[in-house]
Structure 1
Amino acid sequence: MKKILFIGAGSMAEALIQGWIKEKVFTPQEIYVTNRSDKERLQFLQETYGVHCLFDQAIYKEADLIILAMKPKDAIAAMCDLQSKITEQSAILSILAGIAITTITEYLGNRPVARVMPNTSATIGMSASGIAFNNEVSSGQRIMFLQLLEAVGSVIEVDEDQLHAVTALSGSGPAYIYYLMEAFERVGTKVGLSKDTVRLLMTQTLAGTAEMLKQSVDEPDVLRKKVTSPGGTTEAGIQALEQYQFNEAIEACIKEAEARSRSLANG
């Protein structure tokens, strides 16, 4: 693969660009990026990563892989514009939340399409991605798509309908964790610690907890109970979370995000 073309230049596109360049999957010279109108954004990507943002229109027909990375609300207009510019040989990798493969092939033709929901941790090679393929994807292309995502983290193949849940969980997941960190920092400073101290303590705690979940054979509830002494501080904290309906809040969060993904698919 020699040329890839990003249609869209948002945060997820940048995360993949940065991750792939860092992992030497692609050179900056092999990556082309365009968007609808934000020229300052394109200039930033060009200056930061050395990718092509001003290029001849012939690139559309020369690209081996087209990556759909625009905002979902702009997808139909972008695909209408794209359909006459690309060849039948170009494969499609879509990172659009909620936009079905059938919608993509309706506008871009019956070609190989992979839909993936990565997250912005691709920037540091630690994305968690779910991917689905249409029947036009060959075994070789399937391996290629999986390798692209494995280069920037972990990837699991799912049925396309399950991508709504993947979007709600791991796709949006980093934002939930950052939101949690914001809360830790606010309350940590209220109880007398500096923001830097809270950040150091909690990032290490989150990293250590994630590693324990990866290495341990125990279920999360077992690990939690090992930390929770009867009548101790952890138990008091857990009781407060239960009082404020922590589980219900998490369930509402995921269900609302999944429902939004489905609504995007339905237009």
Structure 2
Amino acid sequence: MTQRSIFITGGGSGIGRATARHFAARGWFVGVGDINEAGMAETLALISGEAKWAGRLDVRDRAAWDKVLAEFAAAAGGRIDVLLNNAGVGTGGSLAELDPDEIDRCLDINLKGVLYGAQAAYPYLKASAPGSALINLASAAGIAGSAGMSVYCATKFGVRAVSESLDAEWAEDKIKVASVCPGFIDTPLLNGTGNRKSNEPIRERVKAAGLEITPVERVAEAVWEAVHGDKLDYFVGATARRMAFAKRWMPARLRKQLRSSVRPLGQ
């Protein structure tokens, strides 16, 4: 039987690393892309065997996408079955105080990078369909907009919109498309401050707000479920599930809660 393959962006740490290990343990050929070459080497070192590959990739570079996917496909026996668009950065704080380059960086990596990846991966996914999949990492921030997260929420709402559009657009090609929407996940992203004007780690703000931090392995499991399931959205963690429920059934109550919530993350 032909070995299936998955290419994962942001594979040098966090969700990307956990997903690489999860799929590799189940016999898949795993490729990771990242700008963090040391991180990718650490990820590959955690995977036994030879069914693994890494290539430097800045998801903002459309030409680089074509190059790295061609190289990965060649290493994986000429096929790509799944692309996980996972690479992302966090940006938080009052919109009025964000520097333009912080806004651009978040939009370019979190949203344009997903579009570029989908476009570049399409011919490979079409060739390996049925059974191929595009999985996009969204967030609970793509379910409801929170204070101090306007730019980040815009990207994650956008990721869900891209997924929904391509689910329809690629249906005739039999390519599965889904979004995975975690709440707060135990990754290095929580160690950041949200924006350069803050020095308080996001992790401390999450704990102070009484919100749960979900183990990163749970997201890897959700990606596996998305590849093999038939839903459009996969909500990971209690926060994401509660927010999705409230947004659908109690939108006015959720809006009131968000407007009276604690100060924005990143401030």
In which range does the TM-score fall when normalised by the shorter chain? Answer: 0.3 to 0.5
So what's the TM-score if we normalise by structure 2?
A: 0.41
The structure that has the greater radius of gyration is 1
User: Structure 1 length normalisation: TM-score?
Assistant: 0.41
Higher relative contact order (CA 8 A, sep 6+): 2
Q: Which has the larger share of helix?
A: 1
